[in-house]
A = this chain, B = another copy of it.
């Protein structure tokens, strides 16, 4: 058998790769980009970009403004929601196991710009329900999942994200400065999990852990009232969280 020496493409369809590159560049440019910007960013010839964008505009995945600027189109919303639902479905079984084992609500969230987006949740049986809902966004600095995700990034990236999003104090326990946050992230990195201790909402505590090797930075958590979610709970929860995170990671990366 000959070894596959093909470099980047490896049998990939060139125009499709390029079309998605363009979408990613537009998304990275704050959702709006000019043709020439795209040319310098991708290194492609202008007519090539123009033709690809024309196709995307015709299919509704890109809109063109009167400025001639290009922005991400509404067609992507549908696909994104579908993908989000899909990711949630994958995680749900594992989250349900956590709920069964621990009796508290389990969540999964992904990094979405400078926020976390809740992609899946399995509520506990307890009548004290969480307000978090799938599709909702929250701050990175005051949530367990947010801090677990940030702990995977470099300090520079963390500073950039939290300055973009701001660090409002949801409660008196919230971390409100980048330096204090980075210190907590160091602790999170060393012990392998994050704690949100009344930081997002008084009376709620949360243990969170990142999902390794996820295509998009992802984390899971279990949360509940401080009366039930205490130190002893954490001792039980952390190994189970780790197992769930690894199971989700495994499912995400299942190879053919």
Contact = CB atoms under 8 A, between A and B. Distances in A.
Interface of A: 9-13, 15-17, 19-20, 23-24, 26-27, 31-32, 51-52, 54-56, 58-61, 63-69, 71-87, 89, 110, 112-113, 117, 119, 133-137, 214-216, 218, 252, 254-256
A91 B77 CA distance: 15
Nearest to A256: B65
A212 to B, nearest CB: 14
A79 B72 contact: yes
A20 B83 contact: no
Copies of this chain per assembly: 2
A168 to B, nearest CB: 15
A15 B16 CA distance: 6
A82 B74 contact: no
A60 to B, nearest CB: 5
Nearest to A60: B215
B254 A54 contact: no
Contacts of A133: 136-137
